[in-house]
Amino acid sequence: MMTIKNGWLSSAEHQPSPHFSNREKEDSISLLVIHNISLPPKQFGGPYITDLFLGRLNPDDDPYFKDIYQLEVSAHCLIRRDGQIIQYVSFEDKAWHAGVSEYKGRSKCNDFSIGIELEGADDIPYTENQYIQLASLTRTLRHEYPNIENNLTGHSDIAPGRKSDPGEAFEWSYYFSLIES
């Protein structure tokens, strides 16, 4: 099992983002939100996701970046195509990943959730390495933050009509089988 110390995954690369808020004591972590991201869209590898989450995305590197380079967004972790995990925000803090959102009647999901990005796109299959790492990370998070238990969802489910990730390519049944094994 992976280990978490002071909100940080010990086995991950750490790239602390300035895009986070302190989590209020009364906001216990009780939700895991799965996302996808690729920059530029449907292109994998490169530094651009980290650059976005660290607030240093260069708008001249790709025409798509001109519309997003000033966004102040982050996630707790990114799982790259090869399974590498990069952590940007302590699990004890609020990453800015969910935006306008609601889960089981409760709004502002950033307040009580952990956001995990998969390097990918809605319609491109995820890699075996990503599923394995996501399942391992999920088991670790459920152990560390037991209120998550079965509150595992996609960005599309907490922001319907606004977001579509992790998309139709994400195999929920396979993911669930891995976290239970």
Q: Select from 145, 171, 161 the least CA-distant residue to 90.
A: 145
Positive or negative CA dihedral for 6, 179, 31, 147? negative
**Is residue 117 annotated as a catalytic residue, yes or no?**
yes
Q: Is the peptide bond before 40 cis (omega within 30 degrees of 0)?
A: yes
Q: Judge whether 116 and 34 are in contact, CB under 8 Å.
A: yes
**CA 48 to CA 58: how far, in whole Å?**
9
**CA 132 to CA 137: how far, in whole Å?**
9
Marked catalytic residue, from 26, 72, 92, 117: 117
Q: Judge whether 118 and 126 are in contact, CB under 8 Å.
A: yes
Which residues are designated catalytic?
117
